[in-house]
Structure 1
Amino acid sequence: MSFTDLKLIDPLLKAIEEQGYTQPTAVQLQTIPQVLAGKDVITSAQTGTGKTAAFALPILQLLSEKQDAPRGNRTIKALIVSPTRELALQIGNNFKAYGRHTNLRTTVIFGGISEKPQVDVLTKGVDILIATPGRLIDLEKQGIINLDDVEVLVLDEADLMLDMGFIDDVKHIDNLCPKEKQILLFSATMPYKVEQLAHTILKWPERIEVTTTSSAAKNIGQVLYYVPKRNKIELCLHLLRNEIEGSILIFRRTKFGVDKLEGALTKNGYKVETIHGDKSQTDRQEALKKFKNGLVNILIATDVAARGIDISELDAVINFDLPNIPETYIHRIGRTGRAGSSGMAYSFCGADEKNYVTTIQQLLQIAIPVEESHPYPLDPKAKPITHKSKDSGSKHKKGRKSVASKKKKKRWY
């Protein structure tokens, strides 16, 4: 099936061709007709499946067909809410690329940088707004943004949005928009809280689920290393020296872990950049730019910071810390082996992460091959380290008082 079969208008077909796409992905095939039909939609699909185009193309078409406002009198007709700055920028780039032959104006707003340039663009009028929740609510309170004319509201990466604590903001944004509107909800995973949100704000939605577990395993070689936690950095250095080459994305669970690994790799002569929540927007964009341009070949990131990063040619992913949510593993490794190319995923498993491997393999429905011949094997009998002090609570026994205390205090009874 081609994009023409989806009944897309010529300006969009021309832009799609210029982008080099020939056939729609599964998520686009299933989602685009439903959005064009004006239905509320819940789509479950991971990054790399083409889901941005699944909502960007039909939104551009719907707005193009209705466009009648003079250039200086535009109001926001479509609002896309995104949890992270990087993802918002990525969505903005996609809208601009697909809508280049339409007369629609798109802009992106997010925190961490000056409001003024964003306010200047908004004042001139836009048709499509992509925003992170905080900056959107800020500018709405100041009276700079008016959402009274929104016809389509998109909540992208809804699971991450709720994980980051944006639930109240999302409900507030929904209330700022007209009651009669089309809502599209996209999420990599569908935990209970996402289902709950969908039930609250969507009306009789069409449900679309694109399972990518088999395709994740198809183009990507996976290998698992059982290694003591204390030796993970040494194993990482060993693999970088002897096996892993090219552009590498390394996942760590915490910001502290990202910084610690960056220090170790830099000390050993590797060119490294990092992105996590404590970095300024400018620093994050600069790090990503250096990585994409090949000035550094290693990027270390947390899951939250890495969402929305679109890196087309990635040779390997290293799961330095295994994720406790199995879908996140698929999400991570899906960043390599894109568009038919091959990639590798290396995962380090400590004694306290063995349960994560079990749930990941159940979801994948395959056993991840284990590499045993490496310098830092984990003792098969090793148990998770529990950080418990010998004496819990106070070092004094209950009711014990110091000699001085006994002398000075007089009982009142």
Structure 2
Amino acid sequence: SASMGSILDESTTWVEFGKRHLDRRISKAITSTLGLERPTLVQSQGIPVALAGKDLLCRARTGSGKTLCYGVPLVQRMLKEVDANGSSTPLSGVVLVPTKELIVQVHGVVSSLLTFAFDVLTVEPLLSGQKYMKAELPTMLVTTPSSLMALLKQRQKSMVPLAKTLKVLIIDEADLMFSFGYEGDMRALCGCMPTTYQAMLVSATLSEEVEQLKGLMLHKPVTLKLE
């Protein structure tokens, strides 16, 4: 049986939902590049919460459309920054995932959302062991906690610190972060954060580890449990 997470929201379409909530460039990317007709329940319920600027803890399984649930608000927030300031700030958005496969996958989805916004926003993957060679960092980075920490150390002298640039932090597969050995990096990362930023945690289970991350990273979050 299909878990509730992957069920489409039959009450709306991406076109209607987009008219109500989304930048036209994002709506167009969803319907034309990704070819999607209806949002999943995770998306139709999670995206408006995130667009309102609230921190979000979302229990959602793989296949629930969770990547768009955070990817859409992430890109929209970045577009708002561009519209307000005339340009985007490097390292405004960071998506942390536990594995290389997820880096590639999530980067692909966010890239698709930028089909009509590549002129103003950039997203790049950073795989572990790689050095980020470009002088200018991307608007959005998809990476693991340890690679992010390595990058921050590597750029310590030249880079505007994360505390000045970060607007949105996303942690996907949050329940796997500790079992993949990233607990130390996650705690170290907390010391690099700005005082205010929007955070979203996405996890298949709300485990003890996720509760810890929630305490570290989230501020008065809205919790969505779709089962």
- Indicate whether the TM-score tops 0.5: yes
Q: 2:150 aligns with which of 102, 118, 138?
A: 138
1:187 aligns with 2:199: no
Equivalent residue for 2:123?
A: 106
Alignment-mate amino acid for residue 205 of structure 1: P
SS at the partner of 1:119? coil
Amino acid in structure 1 at the alignment position of 2:142: I
TM-score by length of 1: 0.47
Secondary structure, in 3 states, of the residue corresponding to 2:133? helix
> Which residue of the other structure, out of 10, 18, 23, is the alignment partner of 1:9?
23
Contact 1:92 1:130 in 2 (8 A): yes
Q: Is the 8 A contact 2:93 2:167 kept in 1?
A: yes
Q: Structure 2-normalised TM-score?
A: 0.85
Alignment equivalent of 1:81, drawn from 81, 84, 96:
96
Using the alignment, how far apart are the partners of 2:104 and 2:208 within structure 1? Answer: 28
**Alignment partner of 1:175 is 2:187:** no
Give the equivalent residue in structure 2 for 1:56. 71
Uncovered stretches (5+) of structure 1, i.e. residues with no partner: 212-413
Please list every run of at least 4 consecutive aligned residues from structure 1 whose deviation after the TM superposition is greater than 4 angstroms.
none
1:204 and 1:70 map into 2 onto residues whose CA distance is 30
The CA distance in 2 between the partners of 1:210 and 1:99, in whole Å, is 27
- Supply the distance in 2 between the matched residues of 1:17 and 1:200 (Cα, whole angstroms): 36
Give distance in 1, aligned partners of 2:21 and 2:196: 25
> Pairwise CA RMSD of aligned residues?
1.6
Report the AA paired with residue 60 of structure 1.
V
Identical amino acids, percent of aligned pairs: 30
Maintained 8 Å contact 2:97/2:142: yes
RCO greater where, 1 or 2, for CA within 8 Å and sep 6 or more?
2
2:125/2:141 contact within 8 Å kept: yes
CA distance in 1 between counterparts of 2:115 and 2:192 reads 29
Show the counterpart of 1:126.
138
Q: Contact 2:90–2:136 at 8 Å: present in 1 too? A: no
Question: Over residues 94-120 of structure 1, what are the superposed CA-to-partner deviations in whole Å (9 max), with x where a residue is unaligned?
Answer: 1110111112111110214x42xx322
One-letter identity of the residue aligned with 1:176: C
- The one-letter code of the counterpart of 2:189 is I
Contact 1:149 1:177 in 2 (8 A): no
Which secondary structure state, in structure 2, belongs to the residue aligned with residue 80 of structure 1?
A: strand
Q: 1:161 aligns with which of 173, 177, 182?
A: 177
If you compute each CA radius of gyration, which structure gives the higher value, 1 or 2? 1
Count, aligned residues: 204
Match of 1:28 among 34, 43, 46: 43
Shift of 1:197: 2.1
SS at match of 2:63: coil
Partner of 1:318: none
* Cα distance per residue 1:131-187 (max 9 Å; x no partner): 112221112112265312101111110111111121121122232120211110001
What's the secondary structure of 1:124's corresponding residue? coil
Where do 5+ consecutive residues of structure 2 fail to align? 1-11
**Does structure 1 residue 210 correspond to structure 2 residue 226?**
yes
Q: Distance in 1 between matches of 2:94 and 2:190?
A: 10
